[in-house]
Structure 1
Amino acid sequence: MLGGTFDPVHLGHLRSALELLEILALDRVHMIPAKMPPLRDTPRVAPEERLALLRLGIGDTPGLVADPRELERDGPSYSADTLASLRAEYGDQARLIMALGHDAFLRLAEWHAPWRLFELAHLVVIDRPDFEAALPRALAELIEGREVDSPGALMQRPAGRLLRLALPTRMAISATEIRRRLASDRSVRFLVPEAVEARILANSLYRHR
């Protein structure tokens, strides 16, 4: 599971999903747009449109799935509820993984029922260069005794562990910057897939109104 607002989906999101698929030898990566992200501002573009852009971005890439389950559920997009849905779908013995970026990881203790995440899945943190900085105390307590140092160790059980992972390709692409460029009529070519760019421009998404 790789969740996010995908506002809009860009090449950094898609490349990260593909590298997670390969490095962890996963069957598939569910890319799940958040309908109402609890700890972020409400996205400017409707969830259904962000899902449509994600589907265009993924195209026919094997192993990547645009998953609408959070859009089909009422209320805030709590990751624990999404993982519970995936766990019910795949069964008790499946190895489930929730991947998240380092910035989101630093706020993990503030999430809804963060302990429940580990009951349902493993967490994989996509690291950045300063990942060895000290963690907030509540976060350190939450992950105490859970960290492993390899994908093999992670996969020995269905859930409950944490792996920090540096992906080979670091693409410093920001959805915030993409929205700014679109708002000021500047090009986003080579930042998002061509099909995503075409839909954004055709529907005048992210333009100031």
Structure 2
Amino acid sequence: MSDTPSIAGPMRVGMLGGTFDPIHNGHLRSAVEVREVLGLNTLHMVPAPQPPLRDTPQVSAAQRLALLKAGIGDTPGLLADDRELQRDGPSYSVDTLAELRQQYGDDVPLVMVIGFDAFLRLAKWDRAEQLFELAHLVVIARPGYQSSWPSALKELVGNREVDSVDVLMQRTRGGMLMLELPSLMAISATYIRERLQAGKSVRYLLPEAVEQAIFYQGLYQSDE
């Protein structure tokens, strides 16, 4: 039996993309809290097979998707979405948002959720100006972390920023909200990979099912 209540009211949908290399408790706790705070019926968690702005992960997209599914388990409202694995070439969020917009229609609020580090690079994304034509943007703020926005980012965002979920959800797209989440889980996938490579424990950084799958398949571990 779930301890998470179902979401009432009009449908709201979110997308959280990433390499999930590997999925960890920080990702998953953030996803649960984002869904609750925004009142999303479904949050699509979308692994990127070939992220345009970073190196190709050493673990295959299919393996990372399997770990994501294991991590989500039966968590209500979180969905491991493989649509970017079905495309050739780099993974562009604007294409995924366009597919989700087509799937759910024009009358449903659609939200793209990204971290603050990714947000600072947003102006460099492919067809960045089209993102707001398809969805809202919710940026997960890092508490205590301040950084000035690049001028191109300020121009891209313009006057779209709002100060509450209620105001954001009055429209189906085009707004931006900075969101601080209750749980402060400073877990890094890079840190996890380094520990696995060194043969050190990753207990409590990952869901147990993900940890077991990593060790069973020998992922991220030294070849020596």
TM-score class normalised by the smaller sequence: over 0.9
Indicate whether 1:69 and 2:83 are aligned: yes
- Residue 131 of structure 1: how far off its partner (Å): 5.3
Deviation per residue, 1:159-198 (Å, 9 max, x gap): 0010000000010100000000000110100000000000
Superposed, 1:8-157 pairs within 5 Å as: 8-130=22-144, 132-157=146-171
Q: Distance in 1 between matches of 2:38 and 2:87?
A: 29
Question: Is the partner of 1:70 in helix, strand or coil?
Answer: helix
Which amino acid in the other structure matches residue 85 of structure 2? L
Which amino acid in the other structure matches residue 38 of structure 2? L
Which amino acid in the other structure matches residue 88 of structure 1? Q
Q: Distance in 1 between matches of 2:94 and 2:193?
A: 29
Which amino acid in the other structure matches residue 136 of structure 1? P
Percent of matched pairs sharing the same residue: 62
Q: Distance in 2 between matches of 1:23 and 1:186?
A: 35
Q: What is the aligned residue count?
A: 209
Question: Is the partner of 1:172 in helix, strand or coil?
Answer: coil
Check 1:180–1:133 CA distance in 2 against 1; reply closer, same or farther (3 A cut). Answer: closer
Give the corresponding residue for 1:158: 172
Q: Is the 8 A contact 1:58 1:66 kept in 2?
A: yes
Q: Distance in 1 between matches of 2:75 and 2:16?
A: 15
Which amino acid in the other structure matches residue 13 of structure 1? H
Gaps of 5+ in 2: 1-14
Question: Is the partner of 2:86 in helix, strand or coil?
Answer: coil
Q: Is the 8 A contact 1:102 1:131 kept in 2?
A: no
Q: Distance in 1 between matches of 2:53 and 2:174?
A: 23
Q: TM-score, normalised by structure 1?
A: 0.98
Q: Distance in 2 between matches of 1:174 and 1:133?
A: 19
Question: Is the partner of 2:30 in helix, strand or coil?
Answer: helix
Check 1:189–1:74 CA distance in 2 against 1; reply closer, same or farther (3 A cut). Answer: same
Give the corresponding residue for 2:182: 168
Q: TM-score, normalised by structure 2?
A: 0.92
Give the root-mean-square deviation of aligned CA atoms: 0.8
